[in-house]
Amino acid sequence: MINTYNDEMFGIAMVIYLLASVIYVVYAVSQNKKVGLAATLMAVCGFLVNTAAMGVRMVETQKVGFYVPLSNMYESMVFFAWSIMLIYLIFEYVYGYKVIGVPVSILGFLSIAFVSLNPNISSELSPLVPALQSNWLTSHVITCFIGYAAFALSFAISILYLIKGDDKKSGGDDDKPPILPPKKVLDELSYKAVAVGFPLLTLGILTGAAWANYAWGTYWSWDPKETWSLITWFVYAAFLHARFTAGWHGKPLAWMSVVGFGAVIFTYWGVNFWLSGLHSYG
């Protein structure tokens, strides 16, 4: 085992994400454009520090045999934070709804805090076990986790949908726009995030099957991780089917998004901590 020296950089990114969430809250309440710009710049700053920290981590892997640092809980979670902010910043640039940055930047903060502040999760570098010494590792983890990040965005938007009151304005002289976007907009953005994540998760499962065949000689073994990945896939397939075929909108789909992200959480964290299987690498 070799100690890594860029933990502080991930810690800085974690703090910046937390500050970004606070500024996004101030923006949501004040609707001040300068505050909104400051929130976005803070989120971008955190994303860049997160990116630099992953780059430094990759350079440091040369001490144990160069590899893309996505092999354990610590490395994948800081990549998850990076992925969440990447997907969110793209959505903010395209659609402009900055208030969504409140829950998303909190998720980015929590993703790094979970592994940085947990004494049971080590950030030390160690050589890859033979099963992980494959190019399939990179393609599988990247596609899965960017897909998970899109589902995290859908989850965040769905939470905003569920806590938002009636779109009808109450009487009064206050012409300030509402803090949250209209429910129809939130519903559409949640769907679009799932539409991004679903094909990525599908590709992640396919590359995972190819990797499993390379490592273990079988494409599918009903390992707990594989089983829960399939359950997650079916939840989001049902989400898309319900929208397109049954015409579902609004609260039912918002709850399906929440359930789907719960499945994502259990697929990664729950399986790793409570179930044992071929994917138990730490």
Residue with tokens 């075929």: 245
pLDDT mean over 23-38: 95
Encoding tokens for residue 42? 């803070």
- Rounded to an integer, what distance in angstroms lies between the CA atom of residue 5 and that of residue 53? 10
pLDDT mean over 93-105: 95
pLDDT mean over 184-188: 94
Q: Is the pLDDT of residue 274 over 70?
A: no
Task: Kindly report the length of the chain.
Answer: 282
Average the pLDDT over each of 75-79, 171-175, 251-255 and give the range with the smallest value.
171-175
Instruction: For residue 244, give the nearest of 195, 203, 282, 280 by alpha carbon.
Output: 195
- Rounded to an integer, what distance in angstroms lies between the CA atom of residue 50 and that of residue 55? 9
pLDDT-derived band of residue 279, with 50, 70 and 90 as boundaries?
A: low
Instruction: For residue 161, give the nearest of 189, 179, 190, 183 by alpha carbon.
Output: 183
- Rounded to an integer, what distance in angstroms lies between the CA atom of residue 143 and that of residue 200? 5
- Consecutive H or E run containing 16: helix 7-30
pLDDT mean over 48-65: 90
Cα R_g (the chain), whole angstroms: 20
Tell which wins on pLDDT, 205 or 170: 205
Q: Is the pLDDT of residue 129 over 80?
A: no
Q: Hey, is 30 helix, strand or coil?
A: helix
Tell which wins on pLDDT, 52 or 279: 52
User: Would you state the pLDDT for residue 264?
Assistant: 94
pLDDT in tens, 234-248: 999 999 999 988 888
- What does the domain layout of the chain look like in residue ranges? 1-128, 142-165+179-282
**What is the DSSP code (8-state) at residue 199?**
H
Instruction: For residue 230, give the nearest of 195, 196, 266, 258 by alpha carbon.
Output: 266
Measured between its terminal Cα atoms, the distance across the chain in Å is 13
